C-alpha cells in the first residue's frame, strides 16, 4: 500500500530558531502513530506542515497531494482536532452539525447525531456553555462522522479529566478506527495512549530521534531489574538509563541481546514514558 | 455555491446581534422617539390650550389646510413624507455603518485570536470562499437587512403620524398617497449594487488589516492611512511634493475608511436646490443619480483596489501562521 504521509528533508525556521531540521519519515495506512516530544520539539510544526497550515522546505506528500498547494482538496480526506479551545464560543450544537453536514462531502449526519445522543449535549447549547469535556465530545462527534482517511490529533485531551480522556480514545478505537484510516496523535499523556499506538515517533530539537513500530520497541529496548551485585556488569553494557527502586537498579538498554540481559535479571518491555524520559534526558538542561 | 451559502449563514449566526438585532433595536428606538415626540406635542398643545383657542375649529382648520393645498404644495408634502420615511433609514444607516466597519475588522482576525480558525481550516473550504462569504455578508446581506428594517420603520412612522392626526379628525390618509414609498424602496434596494461597488475599498482595506495584523487590527487600519496623510502633508509643506494633501484625505483616506457609509457616492450631486424645488429631493434620491456615479472612474478604481486588497487578505488568510 502507498504511504499516507511521506516526508523527506522537511525543515522549518521560525526567525532564528530551527523548528524542524531535515526530518524524513513515512506513515503507512491503518496505523496509529504517536508523535511524542518535549515542549517546543517541533511536534506541532510537523502536524501543521502535514495539514498545510504552514510553509516549509523539503518534500511532503500527504495522500498523494501537496499540502501547500492542494490543501482544499486534502481537507476532504483529512480531519483534525487541535486542542480543546478550538470550537468558536458562539457556535450552537445544531449549527455545528448543520454547517459541517452542508460543507463536507464525506459527513454522515446520522452517525453524528447518534454519537451526540449519547452525550448530554442539547441542540441549542452553545460552545460557551459547555465544559471542556463536552466541547471535545462535540468536536469528536463531528469528526467521527466524517469518513476521512487521516485524522490528526494535536493534544486532543489536554485539560480533560480522566473519564473524558478514556472515553475519547475508546470511542476512537471502537467506532472510528479501521484498516483504511490513519491516526496521527501528539500528546503528553503518553501512558494513556501507549496501548493503542501501533507506531512511535520521538521528536527532539526538530529531529526524529526514534521512529519504530511498537513490536520493534519490545525487541529493541529492554528494561532489566538488576540486584546490586550485578549492577557494575550491567553498567558496562551501556544502558540508556538507570534508576533505583527498593535497593535494586532498573536499567534500560537499547539494542542489547536479550540473552545477555537474561543473565542480569528479569527483563520487561519498557513503558513508552520510561523510554521517553530516558531518550529525552537533558533536553531542558 | 452551496458552501458559500452556508458560510454566509455561518456569518449570520455569529453576528446575529450586529446584522439583525442592531437595526431592529434602532428601529424600535426611532419609533419610540417619534412616539415620545408626539406625546410631548400633544401635552404641550393641550397645556397651552393651542387646540382650545380655536375651539373645535382647529381640526377643521387643519383639514381645510390640507384641502387647500395647491399642486406645488402637494408635491412638497409628498417629498416631505419621502424624506421622513428615509430619515428612519438614515438613523439605521449610522448604526449599520459601525456594525459593518467592526465586522470587517474582526472578520479575519477574531477566529485567529480565539484559534477557532483551526476548526474552520479543518474543513474543506477554500480561503477564497471564506473571504467571499464575508464580503457578501458585509456588503449585500447586512445592508439588505438594514434596508428592510429602514423601510418597515418608515412605514410604521408614517402610520404613527397618520393615526395621531386622525385622532384630531384630520383625514391625512389622502396625504399619505402623496408619498412615493415604492420609489423610496426602489431607490434603496436599487442602490445596493452601487453600494457594493462603492464600499469595496473600505471592506477590502479593513479585511486586509484583519487578515494581516497580528494584533490590534483597528489601530493598524486607522493609523496607517492617517500616518501616510500626515507624511504627505509634511512633504507638501516642505515643498518636495506637488501632491495636494487634501486630495489624499478626500479621495484615499475617506474612501478607505468610510465608504461603508451608505450614500457616500451621492456627495457630488447638487443639493442646494432642494429648498426651492421639490423635485430636487426626488432627483437627488433617484436611481439615475445613484447610478450616474458609475460613469466616474472613482468608484471603479476604488472597487479594483478593494478587490486587490481582498486578494491580499485571502493570501494572508492562507499563509498567516500564528495560531
> Residue B30 and residue B91: Cα distance in Å, rounded?
8
Strand partners, A152: A80, A184
Residues 103-142 of B with CB under 8 A from A: 111, 114-116, 118-119, 121-126
Half-sphere exposure of A110 (CA within 13 A, CB side): 0
Determine the pLDDT at residue B272. 47
Asked if B321's CB is within 8 angstroms of A48's CB, the reply is yes
The better pLDDT of the pair A123, B251 is held by A123
Residue of chain B with shortest Cα separation from A100: B123
Phi/psi of residue B108, nearest 5 degrees: -110, 15
Residue A189 in contact with residue A220, Cβ under 8 Å?
A: no
3-class state of residue A21 by DSSP: strand
* Best of A20, A99, A112 to mutate (most B CBs within 10 Å, chain B): A99
Distance CA A266, CA A255 (A): 16
Of A245-249, A269-273, B241-245, the range with the lowest mean pLDDT is B241-245
With a CB-CB cutoff of 8 Å, which residues 254-313 of chain B face chain A?
none
pLDDT above 90 as % of chain A: 44
Nearest to B124 among A51, A54, A104 (CB): A104
* Distance, CA of B173 to chain centre: 29
The per-residue pLDDT for range A173-228, each reduced to its tens digit, is: 988 898 889 999 998 888 888 889 999 999 988 899 999 988 888 888 888 888 87
Q: Do A95 and B13 touch (CB under 8 A)?
A: yes
CB A208 within 8 A of CB A42: no
Instruction: Nearest by CB to B125, from A51, A95, A103: name it.
Output: A103
Residues 169-208 of B with CB under 8 A from A: none
Per-residue CA distances from A143 to A176, B5, B118, B310 (Å):
9, 22, 13, 31
CA gap B139, B193 in Å, rounded: 9
Q: What's the gap in Å between the CA of A208 and the closest CA on chain B? A: 23
Distance CA A212, CA A215 (A): 8
Chain A positions touching B323 (Cβ under 8 A) are 53
Q: Buried b vs exposed e over B228-246: b needs ≥16 C-beta within 10 Å? A: ebeebbeebeeeeeeeebe
Q: Do A90 and B9 touch (CB under 8 A)?
A: no
**CA trace torsion B92, B93, B94, B96 (10° rounding):** 90
Q: Lowest mean pLDDT: which of A183-187, A244-248, B62-66, B232-236?
A: B62-66
Q: Identify the pLDDT of residue A79.
A: 92
Give contacts of A91 with chain B, Cβ < 8 Å.
13
Q: Contact, B228 vs B247, CB < 8 A?
A: no
Residue B55: pLDDT band (50, 70, 90) is: very low
- Write down the pLDDT at residue B47: 77
C-alpha cell at B265: 457616492
Do the strands A265-268 and A221-226 form a parallel or antiparallel pair, or are they unpaired?
A: antiparallel
Mean pLDDT of chain B, nearest integer? 84
Q: Which residues contact residue A25 at a Cβ distance below 8 angstroms, ignoring those fewer than 6 apart?
A: A5, A7, A201, A208, A211
pLDDT at residue B308, rounded to an integer: 97
In tens, the pLDDT along B261-297 reads 888 887 655 554 455 565 666 667 777 778 888 888 8
pLDDT digits (tens, 9 = 90+) for B171-208: 667 667 777 778 888 888 888 999 999 999 999 999 99
Q: What's the pLDDT at B54?
A: 46
What's chain A's average pLDDT?
89
Instruction: Collect all residues with Cβ–Cβ distance below 8 Å to A188 and sequence separation of at least 6.
Output: A155, A158
| φ, ψ dihedrals at B27, nearest 5° | -60, -45
Question: Binning pLDDT at 50, 70 and 90, where does residue B53 land?
Answer: very low
Output A280 or A46, whichever has higher pLDDT.
A46
pLDDT band at A84 (very low <50, low <70, confident <90, very high): low
* A18-31 burial code (b ≥16 CB/10 A, e <16): ebbeebebebebeb
**Burial class of residue A152 in the structure, from the number of CB atoms within 10 Å of its CB (0-12 exposed, 13-18 middle, 19+ buried):** buried
Q: Over the stretch A252-271, which tens digit does the pLDDT of each residue have? A: 888 888 888 888 888 888 88
Chain A partners of B126 at a C-beta cutoff of 8 Å?
A: 72
> Among B251, B40, B115, which Cα is nearest to A127's?
B115
**Cell numbers that stand for A19 in this block:** 523548528
Q: How far is CA B246 from the centre of its chain?
A: 25
Q: Which residues of A touch B9 (CB under 8 A)?
A: 99
Q: What are phi and psi of B315, to 5 degrees?
A: -65, -45
Confidence check: pLDDT of B66 > 50: yes
pLDDT at B231 over 80: yes
- Are residues A54 and B118, on separate chains, in Cβ contact within 8 Å? no
Name the more confident of A159 and A34.
A34
pLDDT at B56: 47
Q: Is B10 on the interface with A (CB under 8 A)?
A: yes
CB-CB neighbors (< 8 A) of B121 in chain A:
51, 53, 75
From chain B residues 53-82, the ones with a CB under 8 A of any chain A CB are none
Q: pLDDT > 70: what percent of chain A?
A: 98
Per-residue confidence at B64, pLDDT binned at 50, 70, 90?
Answer: low
Cβ distance A139 to B321 less than 8 Å, yes or no, reads no
Listed range (A202-206, B7-11, B271-275, B298-302) with the worst mean pLDDT: B271-275
Q: How many CA atoms lie within 13 A of B3 on its CB side?
A: 15
Contact A75, A107 (CB under 8 A): no
Residues B113-163 pLDDT 10s: 888 999 999 999 999 999 999 999 999 999 999 999 999 998 898 888 888
Asked if B9's CB is within 8 angstroms of A53's CB, the reply is no
Place A277 in a pLDDT band, splitting at 50, 70 and 90: confident
Q: Which chain A residue is nearest to residue B320, measuring alpha carbons?
A: A54
CA pseudo-torsion sign B255, B258, B264, B268? negative
Amino acid at each position: 500500500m502507498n504511504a499516507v504521509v511521506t516526508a523527506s528533508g522537511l525543515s522549518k525556521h521560525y526567525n532564528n530558531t530551527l523548528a524542524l531540521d531535515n526530518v524524513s519519515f513515512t506513515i503507512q495506512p491503518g496505523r496509529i502513530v504517536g508523535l511524542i516530544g518535549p515542549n517546543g520539539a517541533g511536534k506541532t510544526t510537523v502536524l501543521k506542515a502535514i495539514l498545510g497550515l504552514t510553509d516549509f522546505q523539503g518534500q511532503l506528500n500527504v495522500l498523494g497531494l501537496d499540502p501547500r498547494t492542494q490543501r482544499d482538496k486534502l481537507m476532504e480526506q483529512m480531519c483534525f482536532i487541535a486542542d480543546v479551545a478550538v470550537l468558536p464560543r458562539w457556535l450552537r450544537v445544531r449549527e455545528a452539525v448543520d454547517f459541517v453536514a452542508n460543507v463536507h462531502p464525506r459527513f454522515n449526519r446520522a452517525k453524528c447525531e447518534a454519537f451526540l445522543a449519547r452525550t448530554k449535549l442539547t441542540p441549542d447549547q452553545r460552545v460557551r456553555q459547555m465544559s471542556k469535556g463536552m466541547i471535545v465530545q462535540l468536536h469528536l462527534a463531528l469528526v467521527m462522522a466524517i469518513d476521512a482517511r487521516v485524522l490528526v490529533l494535536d493534544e486532543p485531551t489536554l485539560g480533560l479529566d480522566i473519564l473524558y480522556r478514556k472515553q475519547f480514545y475508546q470511542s476512537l478505537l471502537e467506532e472510528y478506527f479501521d484498516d483504511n484510516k490513519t491516526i496521527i496523535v501528539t500528546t503528553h499523556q503518553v501512558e494513556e495512549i501507549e496501548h493503542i499506538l501501533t507506531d512511535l515517533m520521538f521528536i527532539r530539537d526538530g529531529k526524529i530521534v526514534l521512529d519504530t513500530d511498537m513490536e520493534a520497541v519490545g525487541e529493541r529496548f529492554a528494561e532489566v531489574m538488576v540486584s546490586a551485585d550485578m549492577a557494575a556488569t550491567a553498567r558496562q553494557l551501556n544502558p540508556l538509563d538507570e534508576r533505583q527502586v527498593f535497593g535494586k537498579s532498573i536499567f534500560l538498554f537499547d539494542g542489547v541481546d536479550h540473552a545477555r540481559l537474561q543473565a542480569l535479571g528479569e527483563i520487561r518491555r519498557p513503558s513508552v514514558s520510561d523510554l521517553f524520559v530516558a531518550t529525552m534526558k537533558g533536553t531542558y538542561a | 455555491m452551496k458552501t458559500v451559502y452556508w458560510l454566509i449563514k455561518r456569518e449570520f449566526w455569529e453576528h446575529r446581534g450586529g446584522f439583525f438585532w442592531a437595526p431592529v433595536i434602532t428601529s424600535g428606538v426611532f419609533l419610540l422617539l417619534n412616539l415620545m415626540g408626539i406625546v410631548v406635542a400633544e401635552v404641550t398643545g393641550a397645556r397651552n390650550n393651542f387646540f382650545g383657542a380655536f375651539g373645535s375649529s382647529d381640526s377643521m382648520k387643519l383639514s381645510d389646510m390640507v384641502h387647500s393645498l395647491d399642486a406645488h404644495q402637494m408635491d412638497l408634502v409628498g417629498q416631505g413624507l419621502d424624506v421622513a420615511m428615509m430619515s428612519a433609514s438614515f438613523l439605521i444607516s449610522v448604526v449599520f455603518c459601525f456594525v459593518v466597519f467592526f465586522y470587517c475588522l474582526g472578520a479575519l482576525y477574531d477566529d485567529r485570536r480565539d484559534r477557532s480558525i483551526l476548526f474552520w481550516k479543518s474543513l474543506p473550504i477554500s480561503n477564497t470562499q471564506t473571504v467571499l462569504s464575508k464580503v457578501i455578508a458585509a456588503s449585500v446581506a447586512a445592508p439588505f437587512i438594514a434596508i428592510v428594517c429602514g423601510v418597515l420603520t418608515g412605514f410604521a412612522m408614517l402610520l404613527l403620524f397618520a393615526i395621531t392626526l386622525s385622532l384630531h379628525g384630520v383625514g391625512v390618509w389622502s396625504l399619505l398617497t402623496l408619498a412615493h414609498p415604492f420609489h423610496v424602496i426602489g431607490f434603496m434596494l436599487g442602490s445596493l449594487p452601487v453600494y457594493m461597488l462603492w464600499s469595496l475599498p473600505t471592506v477590502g482595506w479593513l479585511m486586509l488589516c484583519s487578515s494581516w495584523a497580528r494584533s490590534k487590527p483597528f489601530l493598524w487600519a486607522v493609523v496607517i492611512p492617517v500616518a501616510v496623510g500626515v507624511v504627505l502633508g509634511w512633504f507638501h509643506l516642505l515643498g518636495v511634493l506637488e501632491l495636494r494633501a487634501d486630495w489624499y484625505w478626500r479621495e484615499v483616506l475617506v474612501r478607505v475608511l468610510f465608504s461603508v457609509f451608505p450614500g457616500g457616492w451621492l456627495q457630488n450631486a447638487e443639493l442646494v436646490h432642494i429648498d426651492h424645488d421639490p423635485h430636487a429631493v426626488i432627483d437627488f434620491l433617484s436611481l439615475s443619480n445613484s447610478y450616474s456615479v458609475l460613469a466616474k472612474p472613482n468608484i471603479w478604481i476604488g472597487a479594483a483596489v478593494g478587490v486587490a486588497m481582498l486578494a491580499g487578505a485571502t493570501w494572508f488568510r492562507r499563509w498567516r501562521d500564528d495560531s
